[in-house]
Chains A and B, each alone.
Chain A
Amino acid sequence: MLEARQLSFQFSTKVPLIQTVSLSLNAGEWVGLSGDSGAGKSTLGKLLAGYLTPQAGDVTLDGEALPAKGLQPVQWLPQSPELAVNPRWRVGKILREAWTPSEAQCEAFGVQAKWLSRFPQSLSGGELQRVCVLRALAPGVRFLVADEISTMLDPITQVELWQALKQEAEQRKLGVLVISHDSALLARLCTQHYHLRSGKLNQEPSPTFTKVS
């Protein structure tokens, strides 16, 4: 279980962004996180993935601190895939940075073989986002923080991406924190939905789980 206890965080502005936030995510569980722009959603996601260190509180995985080295069991997927890839590397090299997915896995995420020899600049945002999601699914990864990963995609690509991720997560019992402004999307994907307001979490009424059509 990924657990955040009494997390507090502020940047150098001295204005507290995250205040005593507690959150837990079980294996195979999908939790939604919404909030206004600047409310601290991405910051909370980065704290959970170990990209930022909280000033107070801690993040634990099965009761232990997140590993300092090696493959992180909690992976963060940013909103802009263009920034998440080395622009000088070809897509094949980017994808294989952590592991080598099978052809079937590439197919499931719609990653085409012809993309692998291209540079990321020649791929669309949606295509690149699929590559980034697949890259993050290295063996050993147990939780994903999906930070508005479908915001810039068209509705059809969004559905395809979430379907593929849902299928993979079910097979591997991956826990996923979905950060989004889209309440309808969170209602469809997640069993729990949190709303971040002024750095504090308010649990929204838990929607019933429905499969992505």
Chain B
Amino acid sequence: MRHAQPRIRAAFSLAVTSLLVISLITSQWWLGDSPQQMQFDTRLAPPSVHHWFGTDALGRELWARTLAGLALSFWVGCLAALLSTLIALSLAALATLSRRLDALVSLLIDTLLSVPHLILLMLIAFALGGGTQAVIIAVAVTHWPSLARVLRAELLQLRQAPYVRISRALGKSRWFVLYRHLLPHLLPHCLVGGLLLFPHAILHEAALTFLGFGLSPSQPAIGVLLADAMRYLSGGYWWLGVFPGLGLLLMVLSFDRLSSHLRRAL
């Protein structure tokens, strides 16, 4: 019975995240063009039965824009976390090949970790000219070091494991050992690491977009919605900031909880 509660919480977390992911993935089909549809006679309408989350300054439905923004953030977060995990895994694998490469990878990790994330993010996104691609690359390039450090340590420890040494003595190549012995062992770490990166990636995408270095203002991204809301908050139009913010919080929290449960399980 003592073990039942964490399992229930993990199952609940999985159910909420799955529901969220399914609704985000399918949203583009059932939302249609409603996030962009303007109705000037219902500008800045507060939340009601007809307008669940209220409307913005151009009369667009905020619930549709929030959902579309979350879907966009989800894809950006997915791709950035995937790319970041791949970079981390490749560099960790590279570090195991020789001492010089290990020193180089370690130096790269320490250098990147010593620079504040957001500054580097803004610089990279600005240098790449903004937009979805730039945000994905910027987030991916800045988020791999902590995972790479974990994977590198794990690989270096595994490399000394007797069964790995024996495999080499049995005539297996370095690549065989890497693909068959080492990488399968790292997959759970990559899965959890990637999932933990995901909420970070989403938050940083929103932050970048909010600061004007990320996605285009014409896209219904959460960062764009929050930046727009700033102009109207003093006027009492609270729903413009609260609902997109809550949506972002829900998505980040659900993924964070799920990855925490997964980390404990693996």
Binding site for B on A (CB under 8 A): 49-51, 69-72, 75-76, 78, 80, 83-86, 88, 97-98, 135-136, 138
Q: Give the residues in chain B near A84, CB-CB below 8 Å.
A: 162-163, 166
- Which of B162, B163, B169, B184 sits near A75, CB closer than 8 Å? B169
Q: Is the interface of B mostly helix, strand, loop or mixed?
A: helix
Q: Does A86 contact B181, Cβ atoms closer than 8 Å?
A: yes
B171 at the A interface (CB under 8 A) = yes
Min CB gap A185→B, angstroms: 23
* Nearest B-chain residue to A86, judged by Cβ: B163
Bound-state Cα–Cα, A51 to B184, Å: 24
Q: Does B165 contact A51, Cβ atoms closer than 8 Å?
A: yes
B23 at the A interface (CB under 8 A) = no
B185 at the A interface (CB under 8 A) = yes
- Which of A50, A51, A70, A97 sits near B167, CB closer than 8 Å? A97
Q: Give the residues in chain A near B184, CB-CB below 8 Å.
A: 88
Q: Does A85 contact B163, Cβ atoms closer than 8 Å?
A: yes
* Known interface pairs A51-B169, A71-B169, A78-B162; 4 further A-B residue pairs with C-beta atoms within 8 A, sorted by A's residue number: A49-B169, A76-B169, A85-B163, A135-B170
Q: Give the residues in chain A near B265, CB-CB below 8 Å.
A: none
Min CB gap B214→A, angstroms: 41
Q: Does A71 contact B166, Cβ atoms closer than 8 Å?
A: no
Bound-state Cα–Cα, A135 to B163, Å: 12
In chain B, residues 64-122, which have Cβ atoms closer than 8 Å to a Cβ of chain A?
A: none
In chain B, residues 196-240, which have Cβ atoms closer than 8 Å to a Cβ of chain A?
A: none
- With known contacts A78-B162, A83-B161, A83-B162, A88–B185 Cβ distance under 8 A: yes
Q: Give the residues in chain A near B170, CB-CB below 8 Å.
A: 71-72, 75, 97-98, 135-136, 138
Min CB gap B177→A, angstroms: 10
Min CB gap A79→B, angstroms: 10
Min CB gap A128→B, angstroms: 11
Q: Does B171 contact A72, Cβ atoms closer than 8 Å?
A: yes
Residue interface bits B144-182, CB-to-A below 8 A is 1, else 0 = 000000000000000001110111011111000000010
Q: Does B172 contact A97, Cβ atoms closer than 8 Å?
A: yes
Q: Give the residues in chain B near A76, CB-CB below 8 Å.
A: 166, 169
* Nearest A-chain residue to B182, judged by Cβ: A86
* Nearest A-chain residue to B166, judged by Cβ: A84
Q: Give the residues in chain B near A83, CB-CB below 8 Å.
A: 161-163
Q: Give the residues in chain B near A51, CB-CB below 8 Å.
A: 165, 169
Q: Give the residues in chain A near B171, CB-CB below 8 Å.
A: 69-72, 98, 138
Q: Give the residues in chain A near B173, CB-CB below 8 Å.
A: 69
Q: Give the residues in chain A near B185, CB-CB below 8 Å.
A: 88
Bound-state Cα–Cα, A135 to B172, Å: 13
Min CB gap B56→A, angstroms: 53
Q: Does A72 contact B161, Cβ atoms closer than 8 Å?
A: no
Q: Give the residues in chain A near B162, CB-CB below 8 Å.
A: 78, 80, 83-84
Bound-state Cα–Cα, A169 to B264, Å: 48
Bound-state Cα–Cα, A76 to B162, Å: 10
Bound-state Cα–Cα, A76 to B167, Å: 11
* Nearest A-chain residue to B164, judged by Cβ: A86
Nearest 7 CB-CB pairings of A with B: A71-B171, A98-B170, A72-B169, A83-B162, A70-B171, A84-B162, A86-B163
Q: Give the residues in chain B near A78, CB-CB below 8 Å.
A: 162, 166
Q: Give the residues in chain B near A136, CB-CB below 8 Å.
A: 166, 170
Bound-state Cα–Cα, A78 to B171, Å: 17
Min CB gap B61→A, angstroms: 50
* Nearest B-chain residue to A83, judged by Cβ: B162
Q: Give the residues in chain B near A80, CB-CB below 8 Å.
A: 162
* Nearest A-chain residue to B171, judged by Cβ: A71
Bound-state Cα–Cα, A72 to B167, Å: 10
- With known contacts A83-B162, A84-B162, A50–B181 Cβ distance under 8 A: no
Q: Give the residues in chain B near A98, CB-CB below 8 Å.
A: 170-172
Bound-state Cα–Cα, A138 to B171, Å: 10
Min CB gap B11→A, angstroms: 26
Bound-state Cα–Cα, A194 to B165, Å: 26
Min CB gap A6→B, angstroms: 24
